[in-house]
Amino acid sequence: MKLGDTLFELLSEAIGLEPNHLKDMGCSEGLMALGHYYPVCPQPELTLGTHKNAENDFLIVLLQDNRGGPTLSVGGVRAPLISNDKFKSVDHRVLANKVGPRVSLACFFMTNFVSRQRRYGPIKDLVSEHNPPKYRETTIKEFTTYFNNKGLNGTYTLLHFRL
């Protein structure tokens, strides 16, 4: 949680906001950690794996061993929404590996478990006449419901909320 708070402070400053801005919005209120274990796969070219995807969280910190992990892993879907695309979410996927086993721990900073009707959209301080909002406001419930119903099908969740 402390690392997340520090990262949110740095991210706030990186887009020209006060250090506590993202934390004050509730971006660091929830944390879910998922451990992943991938055994050795003798023929990884025959596995399906998951489609490329971008997560539905504000921020993900990935701790992994030295065997590699997702082809790319950064960000969170709502970061582009609230930053009005100043931050980008990176599509990624996990591929099977002949070397292993591989172990990782993904720490998701999210508000999915907080039952609020707060609406999230581009931060007002980041929009202007020359940089209008790129996304409509949404609740966590609406966003998460759409993400879960869509599934990991290779389409970018945030496109549904684009203006």
pLDDT per residue rounded down to tens, the chain (163 residues):
888 899 999 999 999 999 999 999 888 888 888 888 878 888 877 776 655 656 567 888 877 766 555 444 444 434 678 888 888 776 666 666 777 777 778 888 887 666 567 888 999 999 999 999 999 999 888 888 888 888 777 677 888 999 9
The answer to whether residues 61 and 107 touch, using CB atoms and an 8 Å cutoff, is yes
Give the HSE-up count for residue 23: Cα atoms under 13 Å, Cβ half-sphere.
14
27: nearest Cα among 50, 13, 11, 16: 11
- 64: how many CB neighbours lie within 10 A of its CB? 15
Residue type, 3: L
Output the CATH code of domain 2-161. 2.60.120.330
Q: Domain residue spans in the chain?
A: 2-161
State the pTM of this model.
0.77
23: nearest Cα among 43, 48, 3, 45: 3
29: nearest Cα among 49, 4, 62: 4
